[in-house]
Amino acid sequence: MKYKEFLGTIFFITASLIIYALFPVINSFQQVFIMLVFFIAFPLSFNKLFLKKKLNFYGLEFGNWKQGLLWSFYSLIIVCFIFFIISYFFGFLKNYSIPIFITKSFLNFIVYEFLLTALFVLIYEFYFRGFILFIFETKFSFWAILVQALIFLSLVLVIGHNSLFLFLPYLIFAPFAGLIALKSRSIIYSGVAQFLIILILDTLMVRIIS
């Protein structure tokens, strides 16, 4: 990537994140819509108009499936152990919350996880691992993993500081997701692994509440 393109992309990312953080939303539907606009539609439009890169540049392909599965497996084991530690010693599960309605029926749980949760994972994976990670990789190599994780952390601290425990599964897995994406050249495996982490945590919460 040329230097001017890179600087222009940094400006675009910074400006879009600031506007997103300041954009007023009053309900969940608006939140999802705004996320789709800022994290999916805008980056795709920016790429089409300026960067003109093929979508597989952003990890929208199967890539190296062996690396994807291998690093996803390692990451799941490590992150599950991390959540065991912070739950046992720091009471994470006592502060982590899920919507009450998903505890009422199995259908509610399935719909919530495979529609809403999966959508959030897709949005975050495309923007932070697909767009930001692979853009910064062109200049910073593997340090891009840390960059995308720190950008995500900064955004959460601005917009989600009151619900930090809700974002914690995404925050903890962010560097692992970045590693998986770079190793496999795909956001598919990192996205599936991230979804599995949240699915496991939500399942545990349903069992605890029930």
What pLDDT score was predicted for residue 203?
97
CB distance 117 to 200 below 8 Å: no
- Within 10 angstroms of residue 179's Cβ, the number of other Cβ atoms is 20
End-to-end CA distance of the chain: 52
What digits encode the pLDDT tens for the residues 108-117?
A: 999 999 999 9
Each residue of 141-179: pLDDT tens digit? 999 999 999 999 999 999 877 788 999 999 999 999 999
Q: What is the pLDDT of residue 1?
A: 82
**Interior/surface letters 21-59, b for 16+ CB within 10 angstroms, e for the rest:** eeeeeeeeeeeeeebeebbbebbeebbeeebeeeeebbb
- Residues of the chain predicted below pLDDT 50: none
Q: What is the pLDDT of residue 163?
A: 83
Residue whose pair of structure tokens reads 């789709």 in the numeric block: 36
